[in-house]
Amino acid sequence: MILTGLLLFITLASLACDDKNSPQSVKQTPAESAPDKRPALTFPPDSGMLPKFDGDRALQYVKDIVKFGPRPLGSANHKKVEDYLLSRLKGDDVENDTFTADTPVGKFPVHNIIAKFPGTKDGVVVVASHYDTNYPLRNTAYVGANDGGSSSALLLELANQLRGKTREGYSVWLVWDDAEEAMKPESETPFLEDSLYGINHLAETWQADGTLKKIKAFLLADMIGDADLSVERDANSTSWLEDAVYEAATRLGYQSHFFERNNQVSDDHIPFMKRGVPCADLIDFLYGYNNVFWHTPQDTVDKLSPKSLEIVGAVVLETIGILDKMEPLPPK
Ligand SMILES: [Zn+2]
């Protein structure tokens, strides 16, 4: 992923303090001449049920994944992680989306893994995470514990919670997308021209075969294991779905870990956003002071916490529970 912009917030409080004649004063528009076009968002009542998510087990999965070492596209370690993910999904309804990606550094096999958990309601909520590590860092000790590891582990634990139960709601499809990371250093190729190979292919395939119409929401998890968890509000995501995520976090008492910062993030959700699917990117893109651990050999398990995994896992499940009962879902 990459940050495409940093949004500065002007709070209402700071505006209210301004002198009316100061250059910063805001012209008030009468409400009747500028109606709020956003649909009034009402969330279904809180059932009070706490979603179950085992953060310790999820952290163990992160450890399992990073133990294979760096897992760049085309490597033996990458294949081992594919096999590991599939072994944990044995008996589940798994679809494999495999193809060859033509990248600036050659052709590579790409393997998206989709595990489907049926619901009683027509429609699908996708939860996605990439699992590869950055290709230009392939000859370093970079293992992406947080970047790719934490969210892939999160999805494995979500599978544990979804497995063997009747879902009274939308079907949930977990997607481990591949080849998210750039193949060349960002200084040489713009990120969006050399990344997201797997998820672009999946979005195109699902658009072509009509699957895309069934997808009600796309929730993306990325870098969510940081012990110092602070998930961004992303301006490239769908506003009402971000609101639903915040509502879920608030219901669980986890809101202090959400939306303290506002950013604009280019990530795996972009191909689905472009195709009109409501998306929310759950990402904490401040990993160590000034993001110093990101894409470095310092991205290791000791920086992560089972509690952070539990918080994001529970918020994802609570968000899906809210979506199940929102009738109708707001337009994008
Ligand atoms: Zn990355």
3-class DSSP assignment, residue 218: strand
Q: How far is the CA of 187 from the centre of ligand 1 (A)?
A: 15
Q: Average of pLDDT values for 254-269?
A: 97
Span between the terminal Cα atoms of the chain, in Å:
23
Q: How far is the CA of 190 from the centre of ligand 1 (A)?
A: 14
Q: Which residue has the higher pLDDT, 5 or 59?
A: 59
**Rounded Cα gap, residues 316 and 308, in angstroms:** 12
Q: How far is the CA of 281 from the centre of ligand 1 (A)?
A: 14
Q: How far is the CA of 173 from the centre of ligand 1 (A)?
A: 23
Q: Is the pLDDT assigned to residue 96 strictly greater than 70? A: yes
Q: Is the pLDDT assigned to residue 291 strictly greater than 80? A: yes
Could you say which DSSP state residue 282 is in?
E
> Cis ω on the peptide bond leading into residue 328 (within 30° of 0)?
yes
Q: Which residue has the higher pLDDT, 9 or 172?
A: 172
Model confidence, pTM: 0.90
Cα dist. 15→7, 10, 18, 93 in Å?
17, 7, 5, 53
Q: How far is the CA of 296 from the centre of ligand 1 (A)?
A: 10
Pairs from 83-90 (Cβ < 8 Å, separation ≥ 24): 85/113, 85/131, 85/152, 85/156, 85/176, 86/113, 88/61, 88/156, 88/159, 89/113, 89/115, 89/156, 89/159
Q: What is the pLDDT of residue 7?
A: 54
119 residue type, one letter = G
Q: For residue range 195-236, list pLDDT tens digits in order.
A: 999 999 999 999 999 999 999 999 999 999 999 999 999 999
Q: For residue range 294-310, list pLDDT tens digits in order.
A: 999 999 999 999 999 99
217 residue type, one letter = A
Q: Average of pLDDT values for 317-330?
A: 95
Q: Which residue has the higher pLDDT, 1 or 232?
A: 232
